[in-house]
């Protein structure tokens, strides 16, 4: 009405043009507001009723930043309903931080679910650490679940070619062992910590060392717990993403007597060496014998030569008068 009165008062084209522009702008603004309400009203109302505090301007900004507003709002609602939105121990989970993690390529729903599960289980896991674990390529929710409910891994793994670890006691008897290792996730070392394969390799090495230190395989067969205690005391879970809860020997059987076989092989090798040395000495003796025979023949020839020269010397002496008959 004010615009119409203004136009009538001025009674010129400029006034009516201003009225038209004003009405057009009001219509455009009204349509824009209606569009915003229709597009974001449901999400805003859902966040408002959940005390998630997400404004219309934030929802509009998410669209321009190419962020899935529905994912952000649901994550914020989950955090607020779980009492973690303003909890310093879990990290202040603000809309900006949720958007930043989403834009970095993180799996936001699993991160929030993992934080809630860790909070319920009284585990030390805040938003920053959970986001870092997620961006590092680890499944943060599975890590929390494994920390709450430890898992069992086989040593050696079932997919490996060897069905059991082979170790030899000091008496030379082979033992074939399979172990089951119970581990839980160490959230503080999950980033940068060694993986499950490292734990399996270390446990296998520890079992082989423990059996190799036993005086007899009977000691191991009588008390397999000796292996478990020896392996646990070595702290094999250091610098890994897991904490070893227990090591249990699931299967142990006696293999070959490697020591006896090695001794037999060594004895056979020694026999071959002795035969070779005896053959060498025999060959040297035969060669020496032939050399002596040759020297005897040579000396006999020299003797015959000397004997043949005696008559010649006597004849020469007779001719020269140096030797007289009857003298």
> pLDDT tens, 56-68?
777 777 877 888 8
pLDDT score recorded for residue 86: 61
**Average pLDDT score over residue span 264-273:** 84
Alpha-carbon distances, residue 92 vs 65, 83, 124, 187 (angstroms): 22, 11, 15, 19
The pLDDT assigned to 274 comes to: 87
Residue 281 has pLDDT above 60, yes or no: yes
Residue 11, φ and ψ in degrees, nearest 5 = 50, 50
Residue 273 CA to residue 281 CA, distance in Å, equals 12
Residues 9, 18 contacting (CB under 8 angstroms): no
108 vs 159: which has the higher pLDDT: 108
d(CA 149, CA 151): 6
Q: Answer whether residue 72 shows pLDDT above 80.
A: yes
Three-state secondary-structure class, residue 148 = helix
Mean pLDDT of 166-179: 85
Report which DSSP code applies to 138.
-
| Res 3: pLDDT | 46
pLDDT of residue 32: 60
Q: How far is CA 41 from CA 64, 84, 130, in A?
A: 17, 25, 31
**pLDDT: is 262 or 78 the higher one?**
78
pLDDT value, residue 81? 82
pLDDT at 8 over 60: no
What is the arithmetic mean of pLDDT over 71-75?
Answer: 86
The reported pLDDT for the residue numbered 245 is 85
Cα–Cα distance for residue pair 87/85, rounded to 1 Å: 6
| Out of 9-23, 70-84, 132-146, 184-198, least confident range | 9-23
Residue 74 structure tokens? 């649901």
What is the spatial distance between Cα 116 and Cα 83, in angstroms, rounded to a whole number? 9
Q: Poorest-confidence range of 44-53, 198-207, 242-251, 269-278?
A: 44-53
Most confident of 29-43, 57-71, 164-178: 164-178
The answer to whether 199 and 236 have CB atoms below 8 angstroms apart is yes
Question: Is 253 a residue whose pLDDT tops 80?
Answer: yes
pLDDT over 50 (residue 127) = yes
Q: What is the pTM of this model?
A: 0.61
Which token pair is 27? 């219509």
> What DSSP line would sit under 231-284, residue for residue?
HHTT-TTTTBSEEEEEEEEEEEEEEEEHHHHHHHHHHHHHHHHHHHHHHHHHHH
Mean pLDDT of 102-127: 87
- Distance (Å, whole) CA 68 – CA 59: 9
> In 10 A of CB 16, how many CB atoms?
16
pLDDT mean across residues, the chain: 78
d(CA 269, CA 308): 59
Question: Cα-atom radius of gyration of the chain, to the nearest Å?
Answer: 49
Question: Topology of 151-258 in CATH?
Answer: Tetrahydropterin Synthase; Chain A (3.30.479)
Distance of alpha carbon 61 from alpha carbon 53, whole angstroms: 15
* 267 vs 50, higher pLDDT: 267
The rounded distance, in Å, linking the Cα atoms of 32 and 16 is 24
Report how far residue 20's alpha carbon sits from residue 36's, in angstroms, rounded to the nearest whole number. 24
Which range has highest mean pLDDT (30-34, 51-55, 76-80)?
76-80
Task: Give residues with Cβ within 8 angstroms of 237, minimum separation 6.
Answer: 183, 186, 199, 243, 244
- Structure-token pair, residue 271: 């026999």
Residue 135 has pLDDT above 70, yes or no: yes
Confidence at 5, pLDDT banded by 50, 70, 90: very low
Q: What is the pLDDT of residue 324?
A: 57
Which two structure tokens, joined as six digits, stand for 223?
Answer: 């008390």
């Amino acid at each position: 009405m004010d615009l119409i009165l203004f136009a009538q008062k001025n009674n010129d084209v400029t006034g009516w043009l201003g009225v038209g522009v004003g009405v057009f702008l009001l219509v455009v603004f009204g349509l824009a507001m209606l569009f915003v309400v229709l597009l974001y009203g449901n999400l805003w109302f859902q966040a408002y009723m959940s005390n998630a505090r997400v404004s219309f301007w934030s929802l509009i900004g998410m669209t321009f930043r190419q962020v899935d507003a529905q994912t952000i709002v649901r994550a914020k609602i989950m955090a607020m309903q779980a009492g973690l939105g303003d909890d310093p121990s879990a990290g202040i989970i603000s809309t900006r931080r949720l958007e930043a993690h989403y834009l970095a390529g993180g799996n936001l729903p699993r991160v929030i679910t993992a934080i809630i599960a860790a909070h319920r289980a009284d585990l030390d896991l805040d938003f920053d650490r959970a986001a870092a674990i997620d961006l590092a390529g680890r499944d943060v929710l599975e890590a929390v679940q494994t920390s709450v409910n430890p898992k069992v891994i086989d040593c050696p793994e079932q997919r490996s070619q060897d069905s059991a670890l082979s170790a030899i006691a000091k008496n030379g008897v082979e033992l074939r062992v399979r172990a089951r290792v119970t581990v839980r996730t160490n959230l503080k070392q999950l980033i940068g910590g060694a993986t499950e394969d490292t734990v399996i390799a270390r446990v296998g090495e520890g079992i082989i060392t423990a059996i190799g230190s036993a005086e007899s395989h009977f000691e191991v067969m009588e008390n397999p717990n000796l292996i478990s205690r020896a392996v646990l005391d070595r702290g094999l879970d250091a610098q890994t993403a897991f904490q070893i809860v227990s090591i249990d020997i699931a299967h142990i059987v006696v293999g070959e007597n490697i020591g006896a076989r090695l001794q037999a092989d060594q004895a056979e090798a020694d026999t071959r060496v002795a035969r070779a040395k005896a053959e060498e000495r025999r060959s040297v003796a035969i060669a020496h014998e032939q050399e002596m025979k040759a020297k005897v023949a040579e000396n006999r020839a020299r003797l015959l030569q000397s004997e043949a020269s005696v008559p010649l010397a006597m004849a020469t002496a007779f001719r020269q008068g140096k030797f007289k008959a009857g003298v």
